[in-house]
């Protein structure tokens, strides 16, 4: 996992994420979009995330759908018995996680995801830190799922 230097360092790249990771994929799988597409969308929305990861194919056991990507807000309302004492900036509680899809599905899904769904997810991420204390105290998720050739977002 790559951890970028603290903002303010003159040599630090100014990426819209703090941590970045990318899994090595099996043959026949691919990520729908690349890092540069995500970076552009995050910048356009004015969003920053604590972690950007590109992971393996993932499907819940028994599910008929597969998760393409999600943006996850980690609520701050938990007990802090083991808290390090360092207060996290709000954007560091946002995770953006991409999962691999079949290479065949990628070519069909990529344009729609890049033009429609990714900007929606980035707008959700940009708005998350300012949604208020009640919202910020609990976990929330914006997720894009793929089922039988159809994409849909799910919020929880």
pLDDT on residue 75 = 87
C-beta of residue 114 within 8 angstroms of C-beta of residue 33? yes
Q: Name the token pair of 65.
A: 């759908």
C-beta of residue 77 within 8 angstroms of C-beta of residue 137? yes
pLDDT at 78 over 60: no
pLDDT at 10 over 60: no
Q: Which residues pair with 99 in a beta bridge?
A: 55
C-beta of residue 42 within 8 angstroms of C-beta of residue 17? yes
pLDDT on residue 98 = 97
What is the chain's mean pLDDT, rounded? 86
pLDDT on residue 8 = 42
pTM: 0.82
Instruction: Give the pLDDT mean for 66-79.
Output: 84
C-beta of residue 17 within 8 angstroms of C-beta of residue 7? no
Instruction: Give the pLDDT mean for 94-106.
Output: 94
Instruction: Give the pLDDT mean for 24-47.
Output: 96
């Amino acid at each position: 996992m790559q951890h970028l230097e603290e903002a303010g360092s003159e040599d630090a790249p100014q990426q819209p994420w703090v941590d970045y990771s990318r899994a090595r994929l099996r043959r026949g799988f691919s990520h729908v979009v690349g890092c540069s597409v995500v970076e552009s969308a995050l910048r356009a929305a004015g969003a920053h995330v604590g972690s950007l990861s590109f992971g393996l194919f993932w499907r819940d056991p028994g599910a008929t759908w597969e998760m393409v990507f999600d943006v996850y807000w980690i609520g701050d309302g938990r007990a802090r018995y083991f808290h390090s004492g360092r207060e996290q900036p709000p954007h560091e509680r946002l995770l953006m996680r991409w999962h691999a899809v079949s290479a065949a599905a990628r070519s069909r899904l990529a344009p729609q995801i890049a033009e429609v769904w990714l900007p929606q997810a980035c707008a959700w991420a940009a708005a998350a830190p300012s949604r208020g204390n009640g919202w910020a105290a609990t976990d929330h998720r914006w997720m894009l799922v793929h089922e039988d050739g159809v994409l849909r977002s799910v919020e929880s």
